[in-house]
Amino acid sequence: MKHRLLAGIFNRLKAISVTLALLGLLHVPAGYASAETAQQFEEVQELLNQVHIGGKPAAGSEPGSIDELIKTLNDPYTDYFDEEEWAGFQNSLDLNYAGIGMRLGQDESGFIAVEIFRNSPAEAAGMQRGDYIVAIADKPIVGLRIDQVTALIRGAENTEIPMRVRRGDKEIDVLPVRGQIHLPVVSGGMMEGRVGYISIDSFSEGADEIFAATLTVLKQSDINGLVVDLRDNPGGILGTAQHIAEQFIPQGVLIHTRDKNNADDPVLIRNGQTVPFPVVLLVNENSASASEVLTAALQDYNKAIAVGTKTYGKGSVQALYELKTGGVLKVTVEEYLSPKKRVVNKIGVIPDIQTEGTVPQLLFGLRKAGAEQIKLEIERHLYRVNGFEFFDAGIPLVLADDSLCMPARVLAAAVGEPLEWSDSLNGVVIGKGASAVAFDASSGFLVAGATGFIELSRFKEKFPQTEWTSEPGKTVLTVKGKGMEWEK
């Protein structure tokens, strides 16, 4: 049985017994060879000969060594999965895992629970946001990396994981029982100022339905603009990307595909619709595959602008084949091009507005979507933008001569202006043309820890629409006005 992935893209392919088409997720390691048989090897070899975009695998692999056979293709997106690995792959696409339902962060005091998911094993065990993890299974975790701590917490479903946490000046023992955790692949809602925000973490099956339902609710709430966050989204099912594109494109080509015979079998959009408000896509270097398909299509049809950094550049399509002899084979079968036949593979998609930084990208996105005010609330381990809470990045603040300073990129994005470094000033220029404002050491600019900062009082002198308040544990920045239009 066969499927197409744009990760993966999902498309029903008729030729062999597969059930999935991926716009490929980023690389998933190949399977083990221990359970392979000569029949499996022959079936895999025949499939690769028939459909792999690069042609036949190199000769010389011994029967039974599927892993070595695949390596000769020099293609990181073609893989063989045994039963256990296939289940893991599906869970990764759907953002499912066995754990306790906690978002983990790290600061100078250690590993901290920055979010406890509702109705999770962590919540049931009495864990609270702000708890510091001291030990796991009676073993101290000092000196470990955050990924190592996460690996210790995850494990088999329905198993206990003894943990010691520090809450204030007390240490508390908790005993969560690992359960199946399903992270939402689509989330969002209305921000202050009637700009909608929808984050898509994976183009898994059903994500398009959740997206459509979320968008419908936003439309019913008199939405003025929309920000769609595709950052760090590695891809997923082609059909999912196709149906989301249908929310913005009435009809046309979603992608052109090119197989091993150079034949184009375009994926079409029919009976789609459009929206009457501006749409902004947030992308970064980890936006891949189906994320790039959606971004390139909405750019080509002038239905959205993209803000962020150049995307990953995974422009190939995988198909999944359920093998008669056991296991699943994921094969690169096509390369895809944008509706205007732009090449994506190994190149990526260039944003209309290029800017770095998690928070600046979001603020620019809001500005381009029509937000007339930016309200940025900064607390320890989280921040809020126009009422929406985020945990994915910290926003550093520094004091210089008792004056509060904020990152220059954040301030520039908050007022909706581009920022450039100036070697001659050893500082930055915010804005374009006659309205450009320079900041150097004499006008409140400083560098701390490789980040450029501007004193808020000096920034307000040039951008009087800026207001802020600061108290222990919380700083609030408010900027009114849409910001100036500038060429991308």
Residue 486 has pLDDT above 80, yes or no: no
pLDDT band of residue 58 (cuts 50, 70, 90) is: low
Overall size of the chain counted in residues = 488
What pLDDT score does 25 carry? 44
Residue 85 has pLDDT above 80, yes or no: no
How do residues 270-318 score in pLDDT, each as one tens digit? Answer: 999 999 999 999 999 999 999 999 999 999 999 999 999 999 999 998 8
What pLDDT score does 24 carry? 45
Query: What is the phi/psi pair of residue 240, to 5°?
Result: -65, -45
pLDDT band of residue 16 (cuts 50, 70, 90) is: very low
Rounded Cα–Cα distance for residues 441 and 257 (Å) = 53
Question: Where do runs of H (alpha helix) occur along 184-273?
Answer: 207-220, 238-245
Q: What is the mean pLDDT of residues 443-457?
A: 95
Give me the domains of the chain, ranges plus CATH numbers: 2-96 (no CATH), 99-182 (2.30.42.10), 186-313+336-354 (3.90.226.10), 372-480 (no CATH)
Long-range pairs, 427-434, Cβ under 8 A, ≥24: 427/452, 428/452, 428/454, 430/462, 431/484, 431/486, 432/484, 432/486, 432/487
pLDDT band of residue 10 (cuts 50, 70, 90) is: very low
**What is the residue whose two structure tokens read 């299974």?**
137
Residue 33 has pLDDT above 80, yes or no: no
What does R_g of the chain's alpha carbons equal in angstroms? 25
Which is more confidently placed, 400 or 283? 283
Mean pLDDT of the chain: 86
Rounded Cα–Cα distance for residues 386 and 366 (Å) = 9
DSSP reduced 3-state for 414 = helix
What pLDDT score does 61 carry? 52
**Which residues are bridge partners to 169 per DSSP?**
none
C-beta atoms surrounding 80 within 10 Å: 24
pLDDT band of residue 15 (cuts 50, 70, 90) is: very low
What is the DSSP secondary-structure string of 136-160? ETTEE-TT--HHHHHHHH--STT-B
pLDDT band of residue 63 (cuts 50, 70, 90) is: low
What percent of the chain stands above pLDDT 70?
Answer: 88
Are 165 and 159 in contact by the 8 Å Cβ rule? The answer is no
Residue 21 has pLDDT above 50, yes or no: no
How do residues 190-201 score in pLDDT, each as one tens digit? Answer: 999 999 999 999
What pLDDT score does 64 carry? 52
Q: What is the mean pLDDT of residues 327-338?
A: 92
Rounded Cα–Cα distance for residues 163 and 173 (Å) = 6
What pLDDT score does 105 carry? 82
Rounded Cα–Cα distance for residues 425 and 197 (Å) = 37
What pLDDT score does 249 carry? 98
What are the angstrom distances between the C-alpha of 48 and each of 24, 45, 80, 166, 325?
17, 5, 11, 54, 15
What pLDDT score does 109 carry? 85
Question: Phi-psi bin for 126: left (phi > 0), alpha (psi -120 to 50), beta?
Answer: left
Residue 8 has pLDDT above 60, yes or no: no
pLDDT band of residue 41 (cuts 50, 70, 90) is: confident
**Distance, CA of 87 to chain centre:** 22
Are 226 and 305 in contact by the 8 Å Cβ rule? The answer is no
How do residues 229-275 score in pLDDT, each as one tens digit? Answer: 999 998 888 999 999 999 999 999 999 999 988 889 999 999 999 99
Nearest by Cα to 327 from 46, 20, 113, 79 = 79
Which is more confidently placed, 372 or 62? 372
**What is the residue whose two structure tokens read 């971004």?**
295
**Distance, CA of 469 to chain centre:** 31
Query: What is the phi/psi pair of residue 147, to 5°?
Result: -70, -30
Helix axes 238-245, 290-300, angle to 10 degrees: 30
